[in-house]
Structure 1
Amino acid sequence: MRRTREEAEQTKESIFQAGIELLATKGIHETSMSDIARAAGVSRGAIYWHFENKEALLREIRGRLQSFYKSLVDAAHIDSAPLAESISRAVRKLFKKYRNDAAFRRLQDLNIKISVLYAGKDSFADDIIKTEEADIQLFCEAVEGSPATNSCSPLQMFMIMESLVGGLLIRQYIRQELLSDEDIDAAVAFMVKGFSGIEEKTKTIHQEQ
């Protein structure tokens, strides 16, 4: 009997979740595709039908985390609020999701491990960059024309935010200490102050001219 698309998706999700569990607890290098197949209760043929190798599974993990980039793009399109405030809401939401959603946190922690382990592998690095480029481009287009972009480019704005957010995620992973509401508020306030300062400085320069 042929499986329905829904059954196939359920099988893929079972493999994915089993993979996350093993990769997180046993380790990336120490986990084989056979281990994941056994944990998911599927045959080797089934696992390779959905993921041709472990690297494909790791790419799937990274792909599911692209929601952060999309949230920044969505935030940048909110015209009713200043750019800094719109983006800060997206960043605040990410940090709270990391703290309160154990499954999401495990996915993010695995992403950090993947980034470290495969940093020197050109094919994997290229794939990572390609999956991010489209959303980064959309973000840059969305913030183009904001007063802040007169002092730094949209791409520079993105890099600053990405560095702040990524650094705090890595810090939580290494220390195994989750940010409190006060910590999150402080991080967001710091970012808002920075972007607001850029915008105010730009307005002042324009007024003087």
Structure 2
Amino acid sequence: MARRTKEEALETRSQLLDAAERVFSDKGVTNTSLNEIAENAGLTRGAIYWHFRNKMDLIDALMERVRLPLEDMREQAEAMVPDDLLGQIRLNAIAVLRQTVRDPHHRAIATIILQKCEYVDDVLPLKQRHLESRNECATEVEQRFQEAIAAGVLPANCNARLATMALFSYVDGLVYNWLLEPEYFDLDADAEKLVDLFFEGLRRQPV
């Protein structure tokens, strides 16, 4: 009985998260209430407040659901090319692009963050958490770029901070444009080519 109750609670939580993805993607974060999410999930208001204290608590859970698979892919990249710093960054960038296409949860979060979120009122904490997550990842990538420059893999005049922000902007831009019109280009099939274009430009910086 206890196991079934725990499984039912996890199933209810998953239903609420799936409903939140749908409603946030459709109406945006600011214009959506927790009650609407509960209704979309076919559950009661009490059910959503049992699992989530407020909207930010729910959004945190949504982001955590996609963060863990990305961390796994980061570890896989390090294992696949342990001595290739640029190769690790490259594989991670490709993984982010392909996850947007292949994983509906990742795609939903990308849609919400890039297209359906106004950083106002009770959603302002989301901006801070998004920045914290981005900056944590950026610090790691910048360090690897610095090590690649020191090792002579990249030109000595390459700026690691600028390279990092250029890469993040490039990947975000590809995701944003694909979400606008998925039929315009094949993000999944061309992920490697698109990422390699960036790194080819980085290696060919003029002295």
Given the two structures, how large is their TM-score scaled by the length of structure 2?
Answer: 0.73
Structure 2 CA distance for partners of 1:195 and 1:84, relative to 1, 3 Å: farther
The residue type equivalent to 2:56 in the other structure is E
Question: Is 1:80 the counterpart of 2:87 in the alignment?
Answer: no
- CA distance in structure 1 between the partners assigned to 2:8 and 2:40 by the alignment: 18
Cα distance, 1:16 vs structure 2: 0.4
Residue 115 of structure 2: which of 95, 113, 116 is its match?
113
For the Cα contact (< 8 Å) 1:109–1:173, is it kept in 2? yes
- CA distance in structure 1 between the partners assigned to 2:76 and 2:167 by the alignment: 15
For the Cα contact (< 8 Å) 2:74–2:92, is it kept in 1? yes
Give unpaired runs (5+ residues) of structure 1: none
The residue type equivalent to 2:91 in the other structure is R
Structure 2 CA distance for partners of 1:145 and 1:100, relative to 1, 3 Å: closer
For the Cα contact (< 8 Å) 2:28–2:112, is it kept in 1? no
Structure 2 CA distance for partners of 1:130 and 1:98, relative to 1, 3 Å: closer
Question: Is 1:139 the counterpart of 2:141 in the alignment?
Answer: yes
Structure 2 CA distance for partners of 1:19 and 1:123, relative to 1, 3 Å: closer
Q: Which residue of 2 aligns with 1:194?
A: 201
The residue type equivalent to 2:106 in the other structure is F
Give unpaired runs (5+ residues) of structure 2: none
Identical counterparts, % of pairs: 23
Cα distance, 1:162 vs structure 2: 0.5
Structure 2 CA distance for partners of 1:88 and 1:145, relative to 1, 3 Å: closer
Structure 2 CA distance for partners of 1:64 and 1:162, relative to 1, 3 Å: farther
- CA distance in structure 2 between the partners assigned to 1:69 and 1:152 by the alignment: 27
For the Cα contact (< 8 Å) 2:66–2:105, is it kept in 1? no
Which SS does the other structure have where 2:29 is aligned?
coil
For the Cα contact (< 8 Å) 1:84–1:195, is it kept in 2? no
Q: Aligned pair count?
A: 198
Structure 2 CA distance for partners of 1:93 and 1:76, relative to 1, 3 Å: same
The residue type equivalent to 1:35 in the other structure is E
Cα distance, 1:165 vs structure 2: 0.3
Cα distance, 1:168 vs structure 2: 0.9
Given the two structures, how large is their TM-score scaled by the length of structure 1?
Answer: 0.72
Cα distance, 1:104 vs structure 2: 3.1
Q: How does 1:37-48 map to 2 (within 5 A)?
A: 37-48=38-49
Q: How does 1:31-180 map to 2 (within 5 A)?
A: 31-66=32-67, 70=71, 71=73, 75=77, 78-81=81-84, 83-115=85-117, 117-118=118-119, 122-147=124-149, 148=154, 150-177=156-183, 179-180=185-186
- CA distance in structure 2 between the partners assigned to 1:67 and 1:165 by the alignment: 19
Structure 2 CA distance for partners of 1:132 and 1:94, relative to 1, 3 Å: closer
How much is the aligned-residue C-alpha RMSD, in angstroms? 3.4
For the Cα contact (< 8 Å) 2:86–2:144, is it kept in 1? no
Cα distance, 1:153 vs structure 2: 4.3
